[in-house]
Amino acid sequence: MGLWRLANWKYSPQQTVQLLDQLLELGVTTFDLADIYGDYRCEELFGEALKLKPELRDKMEIVSKCGIKLVSDQNTYALNHYDSGAAHVTAAAESSLAKMNIEQLDLLLLHRPDPLMDADELAAALDRLVNEGKVRAVGVSNFLPHQFELLQSRLSRPLVVNQIEVSLLHSAPLFDGQLDYCQRERVISMAWSPFAGGDLFVGSGEASLRVQACMEELAQELDMEPQQLALAWLLKHPAKMVPVLGSGRLARLRSGIAALERELPREAWFRLLRAARGRDVD
Amino acid sequence: MGLWRLANWKYSPQQTVQLLDQLLELGVTTFDLADIYGDYRCEELFGEALKLKPELRDKMEIVSKCGIKLVSDQNTYALNHYDSGAAHVTAAAESSLAKMNIEQLDLLLLHRPDPLMDADELAAALDRLVNEGKVRAVGVSNFLPHQFELLQSRLSRPLVVNQIEVSLLHSAPLFDGQLDYCQRERVISMAWSPFAGGDLFVGSGEASLRVQACMEELAQELDMEPQQLALAWLLKHPAKMVPVLGSGRLARLRSGIAALERELPREAWFRLLRAARGRDVD
Amino acid sequence: MGLWRLANWKYSPQQTVQLLDQLLELGVTTFDLADIYGDYRCEELFGEALKLKPELRDKMEIVSKCGIKLVSDQNTYALNHYDSGAAHVTAAAESSLAKMNIEQLDLLLLHRPDPLMDADELAAALDRLVNEGKVRAVGVSNFLPHQFELLQSRLSRPLVVNQIEVSLLHSAPLFDGQLDYCQRERVISMAWSPFAGGDLFVGSGEASLRVQACMEELAQELDMEPQQLALAWLLKHPAKMVPVLGSGRLARLRSGIAALERELPREAWFRLLRAARGRDVD
């Protein structure tokens, strides 16, 4: 469950607790945050809910990310940029703990590959955060294989996750080596924007329209909703991606979870791929 | 020798035996097939010839491929797609043996990289086919290095071949890492479509015309035929590619084999490359 | 210090000695040459200066390159091409020694990745040159990671350098894996054309103009000259690139060397990157 829109929902802490309760009941236990989500406010909102009902913490895995410096009222940055330096990463992780009122992050991800990444320095900082118990495991987001290998080469523990953008409308990672690398190295891949920000269902681009038409056919044939088809399409991939869902509506999430039960037939998978790319396989 | 056009030649089994006899005499001993060639009929035609003269089998290396599901009267597929699952690959290999009346394939290739390739499952299926004696060795076709590495990482034996498209008009594999990977890992590369489907000699695209003009000059200077130049260009590459020739005409093949004897001078090689790419090296 | 323009400067041997003296005094001790520089004449001009004052040799590291065959009055090549064969590379290295009047090259680089590179043959030739004492260390130039890995796989010693084109106007190597590979494998990267051939300061392309405007701002804010900004931008990268400067003007070099003392703030680095690419980071 992705919480990057938590600040938009304007929930009271009580309402957030209620949502978290319902999600945990549905079996959704992983919560995906980042320091910058909601203009740096989501972690705090999440933390206020946890303060109200601290026993929820132990039923969850909490993921956060750092390494982006976003222009905001909260700071004086002149432009959006990255910082994978030890000082910033350490401070950001500690700030995440403080804002969420927790002792440990289950997973800390570097949010973007920083062209200035000094792998020795960053790996040492990440190792230290784990050794100090502030972080249970570390990973990355949006890293290409060569960036992953560079950081891994200096780290004394495995990077366990790469969270990347994958969907029917963003299928390049299935072909360019990103998911092959995850499969080979047994790195967990999390898929962000698994519905392409909604374009899969309501977009008006050519690819969107083709996918929508194909989904309409398959919805009939297989008795599955479009959202289920989109998720089942991701879940059939052998890299065993974990989609990051970002809806606050329970109905949507319930239907998404139902998708976990349904395997897409191979032909249906390739029909969706053909619709997305506008061409047959070679 | 590629037999993907065998069904087009409308040979009787006797005529096919005659062709095979002549090829073996020329020293051509490797025969390249695939389950799907000739709308799934080539393997059977080849097998009928072998039935007439079974002693030919031991003088040959027989290569076949599987993993593509092609729309055809022979099946009910809704679209062309790939299947690298254990069930399909195993059944396809066994069907190849049955159609060709042979006990063992010398080499089985996965025909295309399948975005749904579960490397653990496929590697186990390939290992099993080898262990059962149905296949002597395994390889791939059209795999990029990262796809090759993924499958290799799960296989208990080396993938011995990658069969890729390479020619003067398709020279990208010389620069993008495909052939460097083969050279480094000592994987045999087979070059399909070494004459770019004939475009090298009769194509009317700009690159084709430039290559034809250059070949005309070199034919004079070096006393070699265009087809020999095209093959000698491939054969000079240190990855030691094995070109897959697909002509049924003996004269063409004889001239091709003669190319094996002639080494192209380095300058001539670069003149052809310049003609193909329309620019000097950097 | 790059000496590819040495022949253009029309210096007498005495004047060259004077330049070398001044450079050494400034702390510039590495001199970058290649067999082909100045239409095959730079090495000889450099050698004439060394003959006048042989004691300079021991204060320097001398780099040369080979592997390009350039059309020139000095030879009969029909076109520019590459030759990484043992015979050419060995002869070229020996010729470099003879022309420069030295016993040993500190570093010999293969100038360009040759599509016909036979890694076994080339590695054996390079190893032999080192074993015979003619070359102290070997490296490459303009090699992509897969080309580097191929050659390295056959060599009994590390390739210590990859000299590649990097500048604010040629920043792809920061993102496509070239510099990540160098950082990971601890290969020294030398950056040629660090000022994009001057386009950084006087170019009229869109990217050049954007960078010039940004440099003007930063020059004010940080009290640094444009040339210093360009170098400090390169030097901040964790791959610790060594820029190859090619100016014969001492003033320029002095200002360049001053850049080594000034670290660019992270925000300024990203402002220059944004100007060069015309967009924010993701």
The shares of helix, strand and coil residues in chain C, as percent rounded to the nearest 5, are 50, 15, 35
- What pLDDT tens digit does each residue of chain B (282 aa) get? 899 999 999 999 999 999 999 999 999 999 999 999 999 999 999 999 999 999 999 999 999 999 999 999 989 999 999 999 999 999 999 999 999 999 999 999 999 999 999 999 999 999 999 999 999 999 999 999 999 999 999 999 999 999 999 999 999 999 999 999 999 999 999 999 999 999 999 999 999 999 999 999 999 999 999 999 999 999 999 999 999 998 767 777 787 777 778 899 999 999 999 999 999 999
**Count of domains observed in chain A:** 1
What is the pLDDT, as a whole number, of residue B248? 66
Q: Is residue B267 part of a domain?
A: no
Using CB atoms, which residue from C180, C273, C280 is nearest to A147?
Answer: C180
Binary contact (A266, B149; C-beta < 8 A): no
**Regions of chain A with pLDDT less than 50:** none
Binary contact (B282, C112; C-beta < 8 A): yes
Q: Is residue C108 part of a domain?
A: yes
Residue of B nearest to C85 (CA): B266
- Contacting subunits of A (3+ beta carbon pairs below 8 A): B, C
Q: Each residue of A20-30: pLDDT tens digit?
A: 999 999 999 99
Where is B31: in which H helix or E strand?
strand B30-32
Q: Each residue of C67-80: pLDDT tens digit?
A: 999 999 989 999 99
What is the pLDDT, as a whole number, of residue C44? 97
Q: Which tokens sit at B129? A: 């086919």
What ipTM does this complex have? 0.95
Using CB atoms, which residue from A183, A238, A282 is nearest to B112?
Answer: A282
Answer whether residue C248 shows pLDDT above 70: no
Binary contact (B238, C117; C-beta < 8 A): yes
pLDDT, averaged across chain C: 95
Residue of A nearest to C177 (CA): A146
Active site residues of A: 37
Q: Each residue of C79-127: pLDDT tens digit?
A: 999 999 999 999 999 999 999 999 999 999 999 999 999 999 999 999 9
Q: Is residue B167 part of a domain?
A: yes
Q: Which domain holds residue C129?
A: 6-159
Q: Which residues of A touch B67 (CB under 8 A)?
A: none
- Nearest residue to C122 via CA among C139, C97, C104: C139
Binary contact (A81, C281; C-beta < 8 A): yes
CATH number, residue B125: 3.20.20.100
Q: Is residue A110 part of a domain?
A: yes
Spatial distance between the Cα atoms of B230 and B223, rounded to a whole number of angstroms: 13
Using CB atoms, which residue from B183, B273, B282 is nearest to C119?
Answer: B183
What is the pLDDT, as a whole number, of residue A246? 84
A78 touching B (Cβ < 8 Å): no
Please list, residue by residue across A130-141, b when 16 or more beta carbons sit within 10 angstroms of its beta carbon and e when fewer do: beeebbebbbbb
Q: Is residue A153 part of a domain?
A: yes
- The pLDDT of C160-179, averaged and rounded, is 98
Q: Is residue C201 part of a domain?
A: no
Binary contact (A116, C175; C-beta < 8 A): no
Q: Is residue B223 part of a domain?
A: no
B177 touching A (Cβ < 8 Å): no
Q: Is residue B77 part of a domain?
A: yes
Would you tell me which residues 93-112 of chain A have a C-beta closer than 8 angstroms to some C-beta of chain B? none
- How close does chain B come to C69, measured CA to CA in Å? 10
Q: Count other C-beta atoms under 10 Å from residue A198's C-beta.
A: 12
Using CB atoms, which residue from B79, B83, B153 is nearest to A184?
Answer: B153
Residue of B nearest to A238 (CA): B118
Task: Judge contact between C272 and C167, C-beta under 8 A.
Answer: no
Amino acid (one-letter) located at A104: Q
Binary contact (C82, B281; C-beta < 8 A): yes
What is the pLDDT, as a whole number, of residue A248? 66
